[in-house]
Chain A
Amino acid sequence: MAGLHQSDFKNPVLNWFDSRMPILTMMQKEYGTFPTPKNFNYFWNFGALAMINLVIMIATGIFLAMNYTAHTSMAFDSVERIMRDVNYGWLLRYVHANGASMFFIVTYIHIFRALYYGSYKAPRELLFMLGVVILLLMMATAFMGYVLPWGQMSYWGATVITNLFSAIPVVGESIVTWLWGGFSVDNPTLNRFFSLHYLLPFMITGVVFLHIVALHITGSNNPLGIDVKTPQDTIPFHPYYTIKDSVGICVFLLVFAIVVFFAPNYMGHPDNYIPANPLSTPAEIVPEWYFLPFYAILRSVPSKLGGVSLMFGAIAVLFVLPWLDTSPVRSARFRPIYRQLIWVLVLALFVLGFVGAHRPEGIWVVLGRVATAYYFLHFLVLLPLLGKIEKPLPLPESISSPVLPRGPGGGGGPMPHGATAKPMEKI
């Protein structure tokens, strides 16, 4: 059993290294020759984009932490010092702050991709669940990061969100005191949030690694949602997808740069440029935009415990999604009803986003409740039923076969081939 790895590397130094620790062979296998379905569209860029985004956040965050002071009396001023006196501190901070928004944009599109093309279905359930864990960790990290500048929204957002735990019966109040490290959001809270905000990204990195391990066991899904059948269906990851991801990375960085350099405060709230003041509550306490749909779900229920349960339930439902969706067909291209419902779900989430940004009164309450109802109806009722009643379109025989006839209209519409089609095998 003991002995050196038989390395294929010709370069003697690389061969010596790889024989003793074959991570070069592993990289070659997982990112070089890794057989990948050849029909990815640009939606498949977003995993790589999220990875790049995580690296950007950690890199800028490390340098910000060198200049930040986690104390209620100094945090706000230290952030301003970064903006004004640290060399390119404004760039670090604007990249980091807008990077959080970019991270959520990219991740939400990545999740939409998974929902649209059924990437959560067997055998990729665990892969998907690990993704939901990453989303949860991202939310916790983003929330605690927003508290660090110690502006008005930092302070009051932290107060509102931590207070949610007081809805838990019996032990709720004690849990909140424990979270705060005192009897209100104060210096101990800021200290621990800073510590955790530094820790969690590395936990995210760890779960991302597991996410990729799971991905490389099952292989990627693809826009047709059918399994890879022959080697003709795949191409090596490098150079085909390294270059395709590079195109996506360029466009991503372009959008990112436009936001950072020309509208760095567009996605932020002006109140967070006012130092935290426990004696003055802002007229409206709103979270960052990426939490608004969940905030709207929280406020659409008149009971505190009910709202909190639904809000966490909105994420929890994703954990069981692979078993809620009873249809054996993965890709929405071949699911005529699901293909429409997924857009209704997207619409409901956008409506919830707008609802979350407004005071819960009048029409906003009604809209919020309708959209919340649809969100849960979609996952808990429609998806289980749909597998039974929906008649899927015939699936193409293989990934290679539908690539040949490219209609004049182009685009990725379903191209049923009645003669050659057969229903997808159950896994």
Chain B
Amino acid sequence: MRLALLALGAFLALPALVPTARAQVMDPEPLPKMRWSFDGPFGTFDRAAEQRGLQVWQEVCSNCHSMKEAYYRNLTGIGLSADQVKAFAAGITITGGATDDSGQPIDRPALPADHFRTPFANEKAARAANNGALPPDHSLIEKAREGGATYIAALLEGYRDPPAGMKMGDGMNYNIAFEGRQIAMAQPLHDGQVTYSDGTPATVEQMSRDVATFLTYMANPEMEQRKRMGVRIVLFLAGMTVVTYAVKRKIWSDVH
């Protein structure tokens, strides 16, 4: 082991001998620590936060962002009843999803079996409406970003005035959580942006945490079932390990 320790020391000492890599000027700020109801092996989604998050998403985010892997029926998972989901979907119009008797595309109210409405007909339309930037799909956004829910909330709370002397691109916004700190999306949430039916004050922080919880559910609809199952299976395997080890000791007791 002595040689290995020596080698370890040498590897650790090497950085001191070499000039450090260039610091990247516009790295985002490190993500803050946030606590979530769904953290840890026993964590579950806060249903009220999910439902508030749905409201924020529907009233604000869905104007530009799609969520095409998800269905309206998935909303039963955030505590809505089947009738509530039906009513929620009925309030949304699906464009060109069906045809009339003469084969012409028609608009119709959404059904629980429909995918979430995509706001733009295609990528070009989305870019044209958004200063050339493409709003990313939200179905998997929690899994597709380093930091997950914390990143989503930090981004929504990360809008600031650009530091003096920083040259911003045309139509870009300064955001401390975004790679390069310049983001095409204008600050989407302002205090009082939505009116929560449960009376929760709609601060930027409250709304961004709620919508991050909602998007975490949408990216991981199986999470609660997965963790429940995991706890049982881990307990079973732990017991099984103990029993198997005891049997092993007994069988091996005659080997010398």
Shortest distance between the CB of A306 and any CB in chain B (Å): 22
Stretch at the interface among B14-22, B58-66, B153-161, B163-171: B14-22
Binds A, one of B184-192, B194-202, B208-216, B232-240: B232-240
Q: Is the CB of B7 within 8 A of A344?
A: yes
Judge if B229 is at the interface, Cβ distance under 8 Å: yes
CB under 8 Å from chain A, chain B span 124-150:
136, 139-140, 143-146
Q: Does A271 contact B (CB under 8 A)?
A: yes
Query: Can you name the residue of chain A whose Cβ is closest to the Cβ of B252?
Result: A240
A80/B139 contact (C-beta < 8 A), A250-B244, A273-B144, A347-B11 known: yes
CB pair B234–A38 under 8 Å, yes or no, is no
Binary contact readout A255-275 vs B (1 if CB under 8 angstroms, 0 otherwise): 001101110110000110110
B255 within 8 A of A: yes
Smallest Cβ-Cβ distance to B233: which chain A residue: A257
**B236 (CB) vs chain A CBs: closest residue:** A257
Closest chain A residue to B247, Cβ basis = A243
Query: Are A261 and B229 neighbours in the complex by a CB distance under 8 Å?
Result: yes
Contact B21 A363 (CB under 8 A): yes
Q: A257-B233, A270-B146 are in contact. Are A247 and B245 (CB under 8 A)?
A: yes
Contact for A254 among B136, B179, B234, CB less than 8 A: B234
Q: Hey, which chain B residues are within 8 Å of A274, CB to CB?
A: 136, 140, 144
A250 surroundings in chain B (CB, below 8 A): 237, 240-241, 244-245
CB distance from A382 to the nearest CB of B (A): 11
Chain B nearest Cβ from A409, distance in angstroms: 16
Q: Is the Cβ of A262 less than 8 Å from the Cβ of B247?
A: no
The answer to whether the Cβ of B3 comes within 8 Å of any Cβ in the partner chain is yes
CB contact between B143 and one of A91, A273, A359, A374 (< 8 Å): that residue: A273
Determine whether the beta carbon of B139 is less than 8 Å from that of A261: no
B47 contacts A by Cβ under 8 Å: no
Q: Which of A331-387 contact B (CB under 8 A)?
A: 337, 340-341, 343-344, 346-348, 351, 359, 361-364, 366-367, 370-371, 374
Indicate whether B41 reaches chain A with its CB closer than 8 angstroms: yes
A251 on the interface (CB 8 Å rule)? yes
In the complex where A90-B226, A262-B230, A273-B143 touch, is A247 in contact with B244 (Cβ < 8 A)? Answer: yes
Q: Is B101 an interface residue (CB 8 A)?
A: no
- Is A80 a contact partner of B14 (Cβ separation < 8 A)? no
The CA of A370 and the CA of B41, in the complex, are separated in Å by: 40
Is A318 in contact with chain B by the CB < 8 A criterion?
Answer: no
Q: Tell me whether B11 and A257 are in contact (CB under 8 A).
A: no
Q: Are A80 and B69 in contact (CB under 8 A)?
A: yes
- Cβ–Cβ < 8 Å partners of B226 in chain A: 90-91, 94, 261, 264
Q: A283 within 8 Å of B by Cβ?
A: yes
Using known A-B contacts A366-B14, A370-B14, determine if residue A283 contacts B179 with beta carbons closer than 8 Å: yes
Residues of B within 8 A of A389 (CB): none
Residues of B within 8 A of A344 (CB): 3-4, 7
Contact A363 B41 (CB under 8 A): no
Q: Which residues of B contact A253 (CB under 8 A)?
A: 237
B14 touches A254 (CB 8 A): no
A77 and B20 CA atoms in complex are apart in Å by 43
Report the separation of the CA atoms of residues A38 and B255 in the bound assembly, to the nearest whole angstrom: 8
Whether a CB of chain A sits under 8 angstroms from the CB of B256 is: yes
B20 touches A362 (CB 8 A): yes
B35 on the interface (CB 8 Å rule)?
A: no
Q: Given the complex of chains A and B, what is the CA–CA distance between A57 and B67 in angstroms? A: 31
Is A216 an interface position by the 8 A CB rule?
no
Q: Is the CB of B143 within 8 A of A270?
A: yes
Contact, CB under 8 Å: A363 / B3: no
Question: In the bound complex, do residue B2 and residue A366 qualify as a contact, i.e. CB atoms below 8 Å apart?
Answer: no
On chain A, the residues within 8 Å of B140 by CB distance are: 80, 273-274
Contacts of A258 in B (CB 8 A): 230, 234
Residues in A with CB closer than 8 Å to B74 are 84
Q: How far is the CB of A310 from chain B (nearest CB, A)?
A: 20
Which of chain B's residues have a CB closer than 8 A to the CB of A251?
A: 241
State the CA gap A370–B131 with chains docked (Å).
48
Distance (whole angstroms) from the CB of B175 to the closest CB of chain A = 17
Chain B nearest CB from A322 CB (Å) reads: 24
Alpha-carbon distance between A364 and B22 when the two chains are bound, in angstroms = 13
Whether the pair B144, A84 counts as a contact (CB closer than 8 A) is no
Closest to A77 in B: B69
B256 contacts which chain A residues (CB < 8 A)? 403-404
Asked whether A84 lies within 8 Å of B221 as measured between CB atoms, the reply is yes
User: Are A340 and B4 in contact, with the CB atoms below 8 A?
Assistant: yes
- Considering the chains assembled together, what is the distance between the CA atoms of A148 and B226 in angstroms? 24
Given A84-B69, A261-B226, A363-B21, verify A246-B234 contact (CB < 8 Å): no
Q: Is A363's CB under 8 angstroms from B4's CB? A: no
Q: Tell whether, in the assembled complex, residue B1 and residue A340 are in contact, meaning their CB atoms are under 8 Å apart.
A: yes
> Cβ of A366 and Cβ of B18 under 8 Å apart?
yes
Q: How far is the CA of A90 from the CA of B237 in the complex (A)?
A: 20
Contact with A along B14-33 (1 / 0, CB 8 A): 11001111100000000000
Residues of A within 8 Å of B69, CB to CB, are 77, 80, 84
Q: Is B255 a contact partner of A235 (Cβ separation < 8 A)?
A: yes
How long is the Cα–Cα vector from A84 to B68 in the complex, in angstroms?
12
- Given that A247-B245, A403-B256 are known contacts, is A363 also in contact with B146, CB under 8 Å in the complex? no
Could you write out 12 A-B pairs with CB less than 8 Å apart?
Answer: A38-B255, A84-B70, A240-B251, A247-B241, A247-B248, A257-B230, A257-B233, A262-B230, A346-B4, A347-B4, A347-B7, A361-B21
Known: A243-B244, A244-B248, A361-B22. 11 other contacts (CB 8 A): A240-B255, A246-B247, A257-B234, A261-B226, A273-B140, A340-B1, A341-B3, A344-B7, A347-B8, A348-B7, A363-B14
Name A's B-contacting residues (CB within 8 A): 38, 77, 80, 83-84, 90-91, 94, 235, 239-240, 243-244, 246-247, 250-251, 253-254, 257-258, 260-262, 264-265, 270-271, 273-274, 283, 337, 340-341, 343-344, 346-348, 351, 359, 361-364, 366-367, 370-371, 374, 403-404
Give the 6 A-B residue pairs with the shortest CB-CB distance, closest first: A261-B230, A362-B21, A343-B4, A340-B3, A273-B144, A250-B241
